[in-house]
Amino acid sequence: MKPATPQEISLQENPEYPAIRRVKIKISAGITGYGIEPLEEDHAPIVFHRSWYESNGYDPEKLLAIKVAGASMEPGLYDGDWVVVNSADTSPRDGVAFALSFDGEVVIKRLFRTEGHWVAASDNQDKRIYRDRPLNGDTFIIGRVIHKQSERI
């Protein structure tokens, strides 16, 4: 048996491997919408083979990679993890994680429908610190979390 030999694949503008931009999302108080600030330095884009996008119905141009901050979504997401958000998917669904603009900050929360209202919940079970919060009129959905990258196993 021969040992496998690695082959280098150029990902720079390779149509077989569309890149997902790593970004910081900017929110302004009182304005519906958000700005995107690319994170170029020391942050290579996240890439998947074109077939992954096609089989899942994703448009690579609508996907954003954002860094997780804080412990509110542990044990599923940890501080420093990266998540891919589909900005084309903003319809709330029960039990699904979304990136939201909530009270002037970008958060990742799981949405639940209770008594006719949507609630943003943290996966962290310490509800003294991470309370469930009802969505208000200033909240908007940035997109559904569809993938995570983590150094934790």
* Residue 138 token pair: 């200033």
Q: Write down the residue that tokens 């931009």 correspond to.
A: 21
Q: How many residues does the chain have?
A: 153
Domain extents in the chain: 19-149
Is 2.10.109.10 the CATH number for 19-149?
yes
Look up the pTM and report it: 0.88
Longest CA pairwise span in the chain (Å): 64
pLDDT digits (tens, 9 = 90+) for 88-147: 999 999 999 999 998 788 999 999 999 989 999 999 999 999 999 999 888 889 999 999
Higher pLDDT, residue 29 or 110: 110
**Residue 86 structure tokens:** 């589909």
Q: Does the pLDDT value for residue 32 go beyond 80?
A: no
pLDDT at 29: 62
pLDDT, tens digit, for every residue of 52-90?
999 999 999 999 999 999 999 999 999 999 999 999 999
For residue 59, give the DSSP letter.
-
